[in-house]
Amino acid sequence: MQSYQILKELDFERIAGSEGESKAIRIISKHLKKMGIKPKLEEFSIKSFDAGMASVIAGKKRWEVVSQRLV
């Protein structure tokens, strides 16, 4: 097993409940299966929040930032 290669494959955001999390599950499951290990997913609850909106103002420029809602 090439640990470095696996870490490179997982080099992306993996927020709970996001598509990134689903992608990470697929990648990790694939590598476990290659090692002869049967992956088992277990659900659990987590507390989350909605970061809402923010404004960034620099000089005369203004940017609105809207975060993703996490479930």
Which helix (H) or strand (E) segment holds residue 7: the answer is: helix 3-9
Task: Calculate Rg over the CA atoms of the chain.
Answer: 18
pTM beyond 0.85: no
Indicate whether 12 belongs to any domain. yes
Is 71 a member of any domain? no
Residue position matching structure tokens 């005369």? 60
- Give CA–CA dist 65/61, Å, rounded: 13
Give how many domains the chain has, as a whole number: 1
What would the pLDDT profile of 13-53 be if each residue is shown by its tens digit?
888 888 999 999 999 999 999 999 999 999 888 887 666 77
Using CA atoms, how far apart are residues 5 and 2, in angstroms rounded to an integer?
5
Mean pLDDT confidence for 1-9: 87
- Domain hosting 7: range is 3-66
Residue 57 lies in a domain: yes
Predicted confidence band at 2 (pLDDT cuts at 50, 70, 90)? Answer: confident
User: Is the per-residue pLDDT at 58 higher than 60?
Assistant: yes
In a domain, 9, yes or no: yes
The single-letter code of the amino acid at 24 is A
